[in-house]
Amino acid sequence: MSRTILVFFGPPGSGKGTQSDLLSEATGWPAISTGELLRHEQKIGSAVGRKVKGLMSEGNLVAASLVDHLLKKRLAKPDTKKGFILDGYPRNENQFKNLLKLTHGDDRLYFIDFRVPDREVITRLSGRRVCDGGASYHTMYNPPKVAGKCDLCGSNLRQRQDDKPAVIRRRLKDYNAVIRPLLEKASGRGSIIIIDGERSILSINADLVKQLKQYGLLKNKK
């Protein structure tokens, strides 16, 4: 049986995760995030999870081979038989080759290219503030009632390290230099669907659904 495989590309803050979840809910295809796979292993306290936690606590990157192993394990589950949505993978040429190895000859691959200007990414991410209790805010789009304070518990809000402008610019540089060029290789392996990510969540989702319908991947509701 052929599977429909959607591979989401986009810079940090482009909304890939949100769109992946929305599409998964609408189609039943599982949304698979490599970041979530790593966090799950840490949560259950597996040997892999303990190794990942140790690496991250020391500020080291998780080995690509470890991520490859977790992805292969996840794709072996029965809920991926009809298709799946992949977010956060591949991140380099070796992972791109590994993805192709994990696909079957009759699988249908679609690479979704979420395009968001660097300036918008920096605005989106640098404005995020979080509370240790789990609440999240944005200084521009969803500000707290009192600046710097959580509406729910009154504690001080903080900016995550990954959301600081200097870190965002480095992540964007890595994406544009290493990950985005993979789309050129993808053009020979499947269809590329371009999505303007500089819009509202609902507008982006509507455009994505419309284009997937044009490819015959989704049916119009009667």
pLDDT category at 61 given cuts 50, 70, 90 is: low
Q: pLDDT band at residue 129, thresholds of 50, 70 and 90?
A: very high
61 DSSP assignment: P
Work out the percent of the chain whose per-residue pLDDT is above 70: 95
> Is pLDDT above 60 for 151?
yes
Q: How far apart are CA 121 and CA 115, in angstroms?
A: 10
Q: For residue 45, what is the domain's CATH number?
A: 3.40.50.300
Higher pLDDT pick, 46 / 222: 46
- Is residue 28, in this structure, part of any structural domain at all? yes
**Residue 56 falls inside a structural domain:** yes
Domain enclosing residue 49, as ranges: 4-214
Structural domain contains residue 35 = yes
Any domain includes 31: yes
**Is 44 a member of any domain?**
yes
Average pLDDT of span 4-9: 96
Task: Tell me how far apart the alpha carbons of residues 162 and 209 are, in angstroms, rounded to a whole number.
Answer: 30
What pLDDT sits at residue 116?
97
Is 219 domain-assigned? Answer: no
- Between 53 and 208, name the one with better pLDDT: 208
**What would the DSSP string read from start to end of 118-139?**
HHHHHHHHHTEEE-TTS-EEET
Question: To which H or E segment does residue 186 belong?
Answer: helix 182-186
Q: Let me know if residue 221 belongs to a domain.
A: no
Which structure tokens are listed for 132?
A: 């240790």
Selected residue with higher pLDDT from 35 and 3: 3
Residue 66 has pLDDT above 60, yes or no: yes
Residue scoring higher pLDDT (208 or 221): 208
User: Does the pLDDT of residue 57 top 70, yes or no?
Assistant: no
What order of strands is seen across the sheet that includes strand 4-9? 31-33, 83-87, 4-9, 108-115, 191-196
Stretch 168-178: mean pLDDT, rounded?
94
Question: Is 222 part of any domain?
Answer: no
Count of the separate structural domains present in the chain: 1
Q: Binning pLDDT at 50, 70 and 90, where does residue 38 land?
A: confident
Phi-psi region of 164 (alpha: psi -120 to 50; beta: other; left: phi over 0): beta
Q: What is the pTM of this model?
A: 0.88
Mean pLDDT of the chain: 91
> Of 114, 112, 113, 108, nearest to 5 (Cα)?
108
Residue 64: its pLDDT value, please? Answer: 82
Q: Report the alpha-carbon distance of residue 142 to residue 139 in Å, rounded.
A: 6
For 81-120, write each residue's pLDDT tens digit. Answer: 999 999 989 999 999 999 999 998 889 999 999 999 999 9
- Distance spanning both ends of the chain, measured CA to CA: 26
The mean pLDDT value for 175-194 works out to: 93
Backbone phi, then psi, for 163, in 5-degree steps?
-95, 5
